Amino acid sequence: MSEPHTHPAPAHGSAAQGSAAAHRGAAATTGAPTERPSAPRTARERARAELTEEIVGTARRHLDVDGAAGLSLRAVARDLGMVSSAIYRYFPSRDDLLTRLIIDAYNALGEAAEEAEAEQRRTDLRGRWLAIAHAAREWALANPQQWSLIYGSPVPGYVAPQDTIGPASRTTALLVGILADLHARGDVEQRSVPRSVRAALAPVRSAIPPDVPDDLLVRGLMAWTELIGTISLEINGQFHNVIADMPEYYDHVMDRTAHVLELG
């Protein structure tokens, strides 16, 4: 028997299905209305949408506990009272489920950063940067496995599809906004950048306001790297026996980074 965890009682597939359906229905009443552009019309389509969300939710719960490598379709199916092969009706493969989780993680981080940044005065560039930095670290500490999913070593054998690049750039777009405002303010000291480096920046150039100077762009990339690196090293435990009070250290580092960016 390949599914040893299903009902030992005879001929109760329908009963198990019933209880699973009931649970599904209960979750549906509390579930948020899905903001799909076209609302599902038939009951079948509604059930499908709900079950899909439930699979994702259960998978995310497993991810948070066991990490990406420990995410098991069978375990998710077991939690939902169904059989592993049924999951494949909703996600063609484990990787597709993972893709969905990655997109959700990017969006959750992006949303947290956006909300924190929106609370700052537009003219307070330093405040906006520190708000993003704070929000990122707090989200990462609250969801370390999801952080590792998007900024940690990639899952072996998994290749990120194009769908992820949109949500992925949501957070960095905030930083680009700060850089643009900073440049618009006009009082930024500029160092020249070698032509070879300028050429190396060509891809990112095409994605940001063209008047942001090279030197500022490099400093922004370095600041972003420092942010990602500090959070990742903390989450990976590399600061054990190095830094006692990470919040203090992180605040200080991000403050210095703001200074390097000449955010005031």
CB of 49 to DNA, least distance (A): 9
- Residue type, position 141, single letter: L
Interacting span for DNA (CB under 7 A) from 6-14, 31-39, 220-228, 238-246: 6-14
Residues that bind a copy of itself (CB under 8 A): 66-70, 148, 151-157, 160, 165, 193-194, 196-197, 199-204, 207, 218, 221-222, 225-226, 228-230, 232-233, 235-238, 241-246, 248-249, 252-253, 256-257, 260
Residue 46 or 170 with smaller CB distance to a copy of itself: 170
Q: Provide the Cα torsion 248, 254, 260, 264; round to 10°.
A: -90
Which two three-digit tokens encode residue 98?
Answer: 């993972």
Residue 258's Cα: distance from chain center in Å? 24
- One DSSP character per residue, 104-128 reads HHHHHHHHHHHHHHHTS-TT-HHHH
Cβ of 117: how many Cβ atoms within 10 Å?
22
C-alpha angle 176-217-221 in degrees, rounded to nearest 5: 80
The size of the interface with DNA (CB under 7 A), counted in residues, is 39
Measure the CA–CA gap between 192 and 196, rounded to whole angstroms.
Answer: 12
Q: Which is nearer to DNA, 3 or 119 (CB)?
A: 3
243 forms part of the interface with DNA (CB under 7 A): no
| Residue 89 binding result from a copy of itself, DNA, none, given CB thresholds of 5 to 8 Å by partner type | DNA
Instruction: Copy the structure tokens of residue 27.
Output: 């979750």
Q: Pick from a copy of itself, DNA, none: which does 38 bind, CB < 5 to 8 A by kind? A: none
The contact set with DNA (CB under 7 A) reads: 1-7, 9, 13-14, 16-17, 20, 41-45, 47-48, 51, 71-75, 81-86, 88-90, 92-95
